[in-house]
Amino acid sequence: MNIKRDISTNAISSFALSALFVLTLLSILLQHIPQKLSSAGDKLLEINAQEGVANAVTTVVVYFRGFDTLGEIAVLFIASFGIGLMLNFQVQNNQNKVKSNFMLQLGARLLFPIILLFGVYVMTYGHLSVGGGFQGGVIIASAVLLMLVSSNHFQLSHRIITLLETFAGVSYVLIGLIGLIVLDSFLGNFLPHSASQLGLLLSGGIVPIIYIIIGIKVGSEMSLIVQNMLQRSDND
Amino acid sequence: MIGVIILGTLMALIVIAFVAVIEPKLPDAIILSMGIGLGAVVLFVLFQAPDVALTEAVIGTGIGSLIYLMALKHLGERQ
Amino acid sequence: MSSIYFIALPLLFGFATPILAKFGKNGIAYSSILLQVALFVLSLQLFVTMDRSIIEVIAIAPPLGIGFVVNSISLFFVMLFTFFILMASLYYLKLRKLNPYPNEAKFFILINMLLASTIGLVLSSDIFNIYVFFEIAGISAYILSAYRKTPKALEAGLKYLLTGAVASIFLVFAIALLYLHLGTLNLALISQGFTALDSDIKLLISLFLLIGFGLKVEIFPLNFWVTDIYEGSDAFTDALFSAVVVKAYLFVFFHLLYLFLPNKEFTLFLLYLGAVSMLIAEVIALRQNNLKRIFAYSSLGQVGLLFVAFSMQDVISISAGLYILLAHSLAKMVLFLSLASLFEHYKNEDISLLKEMNSPFLRNVIIISMLSLLGIPLLAGFVGKFLLLKTVAFYGLFGLLGLLILSALIESIYYFKIIGLLLIKKETKEQFHPSTLQKFVLLVLTLGVIFVGVAPFAISDFMATSASVMLDTQSYQNLLLGAN
Amino acid sequence: MIESILYYFNQTEVIKTIVTLGSMGLFFVGLFGLLSQRHIIKVFISIGIMEIAVFIFFIGLSFQRGLTAPMLGDAHTTFIQMNDPIPHAMILTAIVIGMAVLALGISFAIEYYKLTGKNRLDEMNEMKN
C-alpha cells in the first residue's frame, strides 16, 4: 500500500515536472517557428553537380561532411568492440539450443543470398539512389542474423571479419590522407569526377568507393554485434 | 492531404509512446517501441527524406528491436 | 605539417590494431607509445613554427565544409592532451605487470581514440563535428570506466552512459535549433548571426548547450553521478577523466559560450553556479572516506573554480583559468596515478590506506601535488588562484570572493587531514618502491608543478596570448570566413 | 467543407506548428518516462523516444512543402527545388550513433544483471552512500 502510493507520487511529480519543462519549451518554440532561409545546404546543392553524384545526401554524408562520417565509423567501431569486450564471446556448445525445423532452415538458406544481394545493391548504388553504406551494411548484417537464428552450425569466422573490418577502416583513413597529400585537404576528392558523369555507376570520384568501404565496415561490425548479442552464453 | 496525415501519425505516435512508457509488461512495451520507429519512418517519408527513412527503418527499428529483444531475454521480464 | 595528423594517425592506429594485435601484446603497447611520442613532438614542432593562427581545410572550405583552427589556445590544449596521454601510457607500461587490463589491445585502442577525439573537440570549427567528437570521447570513456567488468565498474559505466545519452539529446536539440534559425553549422557564421536572434531562442539554445555540456563537465546541479563514476572506475582511468576528458569538454563549452553568448545575466548565473558548485563539493568532501571519492569531489570543486574563472570574460581571469587548469591537471594526474599503484599494492581504497602505506617517494609527490591544489605559494596552484582572486576583487564582487575563500578554507581542512595521515610514522618497515619508469613519470609531472609555481613568468606571455585569442571572437570569425 | 479543412492543414505554417506540437509531445512522453520509470529497458526506451522526437522536430521543420527529396530521379535532372540535404545527413549520423550507444548500454546492463541480479536503476547501489 505504502509502496504503491510512493510510486504514484513519483509518477505525478515527474509528470508535472516534464509537463512544465515541455510547456515552457513549446511557448518559446511556437512563437519562433523558423522561416525558410538560404542555408548552407542550398549552397551545397548548387555545387553538388560538380561532384557528379546523383544523390545529394550521399555527397553531403560522404564528401562535404565526410569527416563526420569518419567519426561515426569510429563510434561504431568502438561500440562494436566494447560490446565484444562486455559479452565476452565464446564458441558455445550447441546442446541447449533449440533445433530449428527443416522448413525454417531451408527458407533461411533460400533467403540468405537474396538479402545479401539486396544489401550489396543498396551499398553500391548509394550515390545514385536512396541508400548507401550504412543501410546496405545493416541489411547484410540482417542476412547474417537470419542464418544465425535458423542454422545450428552457422558461425562467422572471426578472423575474416577482423580482416575485413581492419581493411575497411585503414583504407578509409588512407584515402583521406592521399587527399591530404594530393589536394592539400583531408578526404579531398582526388579521383576524376565531373557533372557529365551524373547518373553513371562509375561517377563521383571517391564517393562511391568510400561508401562501399563504409558498407563493408558497418556490415562486419553489425554482424559482430548481432553475433555477440545472440550468443552470449546463458549458463552463468 | 499531407498535413492531415502528418497530424494523424503524430497523434498516433504520442499515444503509442505513452502506452509504451507506462505499460508494465516489458514484451508489449518493446513491441510498441518498434511501432514508434515505424511511425517515424512514415513521417520521414512524408517529409521527403527517404535516406533518413531507410536508415531509421533498418537501423533504428531493425537492429534496435533485436537489441531490445536480447535485453529482454537476458534481463528477465520482472519489472 | 598538418594538424589533421593528430586525428588521422590515432584513428588509423585504432582501426589497424585488431590485425596488429596478432603480432603480440608488447608490440601494440610500444607502437602506441611511439605514436604518442611522435604526436607530442609534432605538437611541439607546430608550437615552435607557428607564427599566426591558421585554418586546415577538410574536404571543402569552411563556411560549407569542416575546418580545423590551429591557434595558440587550441595548440595549448593539443600539447596538454598529448603530453598527459603519453605520460599515462608510459605509467601503464609498468602498471600492466601487476594487473593488466584484460584484452589489452582494445585498451590501447581506447586510449588512442580518447586522444583523437579530445584533440578533435578542441580543433574543430563546426558544431556538428564537435557533436561527433563529443560522442567518440564519451563512448571511449564509458567503456574505459566499465573495463574491469566488476559490478562497481559496470554500474559506473552504465550511469555514465545514461547521463551521456541524455546530454547528447540536448546537444543535438541545440544544434537543430541553431541550424533551423541560422542555416549554418559553421561556428563563425553562427557567431555572426546569433546576436540578431530573438532573446528567448538565444536563452533556450544556451540552456540546452549548458545541459548538454554541463552533464559532461561535472557542474552543479548536473554532477550527482560523477563521484560514483570516479569510485567505480580504476584510479588510472580517473586520472585520464580528470586531466583530459573533462578539460576538453570544459574548453569547448566556454569556446562556444564566448562565440554565442545570450546576455550578460547568463554569465553572471554561470559565475555563481561555479562558486556554489565549489562550495557544495568541498562541504560534501569532508564526510567521505573513499580516497577516489574524496579526490572526485575535489575535482568538482576545481571545475567550479574554473567556471568562475572562465565566466569572468576578462583576459587576466582567463589566463588565471588556464593556470588553474594546467595546475589541476598536473596535480590530479600525479594523485590518481600514484593512487593506482598504491591500490594495486595494498588492495585498499579507503582513507586508512594512507596510514598503512610506507613509500617515501609516493608520499612526497602526493604531498607536493596536494599543496599545489591548495594554492600554497611557489607551487603551480598558487598562480592561478592568486590571479583569479585579484580579478574578482578588482571587479568588486566581494560576495563571490567570500564564497571562494570560504570553500578554499573548507578544502584545506580535509587536505591537511590527509597530509597529516600521510606524515604519521609508519608501523610497517617494508617499503614500497614504484618502478623507475613510474618514478620518472611522476617526477616529470611533479617538476612541472614546481616549475609553473616557481617561474610562472616563463609561460605568462603564452598564457596571456592564449587568453586573448580565446576571448577575441572577432578575429576567429575573420580567420574562418576569410579563408574562402 | 472537407476541402477547406484539407487546404488549411496543407499550409506550410500549419504543418510546422503541427510538427512542433507533435514532436514536443513525444519529447514530453520520453522525458516523463525517463523521470518516472526505473527498469533499465524502460529507461532506454524513453531515451529512444526523446531522440526520435528531436529527429522528427528537426527534419519536419527543415521540410518545405512542394520541394522534392534531394536526389535526381526521372523527373528531376537538376539540383533545384529540393529539400535541404544537410539535416538529412546529420540525422542519419545521429541515428547510427544513437543505436551504437543503445547497444553498448544494453550490453553493460546484461553483464551487470548477470553479476548482481539487478535490473532497475533504483536498486543500483554498489557504491557506498
pTM value is 0.94
3 state SS of C474? helix
A120-149 burial: b if 16+ Cβ within 10 Å, else e: bebbbbbbbbbbbbbbbbbbbbbbbbbbbe
Contact C114, C144 (CB under 8 A): yes
Contact A150, A104 (CB under 8 A): yes
Lowest mean pLDDT among B58-72, C250-264, C340-354, D13-27: C340-354
Predicted interface score ipTM higher than 0.90? yes
DSSP string, A54-102: SBHHHIIIIIITHHHHHHHHHHHHHHHHHHHHHTT-----STTSPPPPH
Host H or E run for residue A159: helix A158-183
> How confident is the model at residue C347, as a pLDDT?
83
Q: Give the Cα separation of A76 and B13 in Å (integer).
A: 28
A22 at D interface, C-beta within 8 A: yes
Closest residue by Cα to residue D25 from C162, B56, B17, A33: B17
Whether C and B touch, i.e. at least 3 CB pairs below 8 A, reads as: no
Q: How would residue A117 be classed by pLDDT, with cut points 50, 70 and 90?
A: very high
Of C6, C11, C110, C202, which to mutate for an interface test with A (greatest number of A Cβ within 10 Å)?
Answer: C11
Lowest mean pLDDT among A36-45, A122-131, C2-11: A36-45
Contact C215, C56 (CB under 8 A): no
Q: For chain D, which domains are there?
A: 2-64+85-123 (1.10.287.3510)
Residues 119-138 of chain A whose Cβ lies under 8 A from any Cβ of chain B? 122, 130-132, 134-135, 138
Percent of chain A at pLDDT > 70 equals 91
> How confident is the model at residue A119, as a pLDDT?
92
Number of domains observed in the structure of chain B: 1
Radius of gyration of chain A (CA): 24
Q: Give the Cα separation of A49 and A45 in Å (integer).
A: 8
> How confident is the model at residue A188, as a pLDDT?
84
C161 at D interface, C-beta within 8 A: yes
pLDDT < 50 stretches in chain C:
484
| Interface contacts A/D by beta carbons within 8 Å | 129
CA C289 to chain centre: 24
Average pLDDT over residues D11-33: 92
pLDDT value at A92 more than 60 = no
Domain range holding B37?
2-75
> How confident is the model at residue A89, as a pLDDT?
56
> How confident is the model at residue B79, as a pLDDT?
57
3 state SS of C463? helix
Residues 36-75 of chain B whose Cβ lies under 8 A from any Cβ of chain D? 36-37, 40, 43-44, 47-52, 55-56, 59-60, 63-64, 67-68, 70-72, 74-75
pLDDT value at A69 more than 60 = yes
Q: Give the Cα separation of C7 and C87 in Å (integer).
A: 19
Contacts of A230 in chain B (CB under 8 A): 70
Those residues with Cβ within 8 angstroms of residue A90's Cβ, 6 or more apart along the chain or in another chain:
A231, A233
Contact C56, C3 (CB under 8 A): yes
3 state SS of C434? coil
> How confident is the model at residue A1, as a pLDDT?
44
* Burial class of residue A46 (count of CB atoms within 10 Å of its CB; 0-12, 13-18, 19+): exposed
Nearest CB among D58, D90, D108 relative to C161 is that of D108
Average pLDDT over residues A154-166: 86
Host H or E run for residue C54: strand C54-58
Q: Cα–Cα distances in Å, from A191 out to A205, A210, B21, B62?
A: 5, 12, 50, 35
**Residue B50 Cα, gap to closest chain A Cα (Å):** 6
Helix C127-145 and helix C151-182, axial crossing angle in degrees, nearest 10: 170
pLDDT value at B77 more than 70 = no
> How confident is the model at residue A93, as a pLDDT?
52
Alpha helices in C241-359 (DSSP H): 246-259, 264-285, 291-311, 315-346, 353-356
A18 at D interface, C-beta within 8 A: yes
pLDDT value at A217 more than 70 = yes
> How confident is the model at residue C119, as a pLDDT?
94
